[in-house]
Amino acid sequence: MYPIRGELSLGDTKVPYFIISFGRMIEKDKIEKLVSGYLPGQGLFLVAVRISATGKITVLVDSTAGVTIEQCAELSRYIEKSFDRDVEDFELQVSSPGLDMPFLVIDQYIKNEGRQIEVIGKDGKKKRGTLKNVTNGGFELEVIVKPLKGSGGKAAGKKTTDISYNYEQVKSAREIVTFK
C-alpha cells in the first residue's frame, strides 16, 4: 500500500486529499506466460487464469493423473517469487477445477476420454454419453438411443449411436460424477 497525500485546489480553496494505492495490477497474459513455462515439466496443463478487479488471481491447473495439494503449493510459490510484493499487490489461489466445472480447454476433454460426460449444445439440447475420439477439432459422444427389447418385453441390449461435435457447437461440457 502506498498512501498519497496532497491538496487539491478548487478556486481559492485548498482541499486536502488522501489516497491509498494498492500497487500495480498484474496482467493476465504475464501470469499465463509464467505458468505455461512452468507446467510442462510438471505433467500439468493450464486450464484458466482469472484476475478480479480487487487483485485476486486464480490459477486453475489439471493433469491426466489429477493434481495434488503439493503441486498446487509448488506452483503458488513459483508464481509468488516471480513478483515483487512491494510493487504488485495480489491474492493468489492455485487449484484444480472443481468436479462440477465445465471443460475449458481441449486437454480436459482428452483427460476425460472414455468417461461419461454431459454436453449442452449451443442449441440448448443436453446429451449424456461416453466421450470418444477427442481431436483438436472436436469429439464424439456415444449415446444410448433406446434399449432393445428381447422376448418377454425385457431389455436385451442397448443400441448406441455416435454424435459428432465441433467445439464451436458446445455451450458447455462436464464430467458426470457418479458414486458407486
pLDDT above 70 (res 24): no
* pLDDT (0 to 100) of residue 5: 53
What are the pLDDT digits (tens) for 37-88?
Answer: 898 888 899 999 999 888 899 999 999 888 999 999 999 999 999 887 777 7
pLDDT tens for 117-129 read: 999 999 999 999 9
Cell digits for 164? 459428432
Instruction: Let me know whether 125 and 158 are in one domain.
Output: yes
**4 in a domain, yes or no?**
no
User: Does residue 39 belong to any structural domain of this protein?
Assistant: yes
23 within a domain of the structure (yes/no): no
Q: Exposure pattern of 35-68 as b/e (b: 16+ CB <10 Å)?
A: beebbeeeebbbbebebeeebebebbbbbeeebe
CATH number, domain of 124, equals 2.30.30.100
Mean pLDDT of the region 3-18 = 56
Structural domain for 63, as ranges: 28-95
Query: What pLDDT, on the 0 to 100 scale, is given for residue 87?
Result: 77
Is 83 found in the same domain as 125? no
- Least Cα distance to 85 among 115, 44, 55 occurs for 55
pTM for this one? 0.75
pLDDT at 25: 63
| Domain edge (last residue) among 41, 61, 95 | 95
pLDDT (0 to 100) of residue 147: 65
Domain-terminating residue out of 95, 127, 145: 95
Flag whether pLDDT at 116 surpasses 50: yes
Report pLDDT for 27: 85
Could you tell me if 152 and 114 lie in one domain? yes
What is the tally of structural domains in the chain? 2
123 and 88 both lie in a single domain = no
Question: What's the CATH number where 43 sits?
Answer: 3.30.300.20
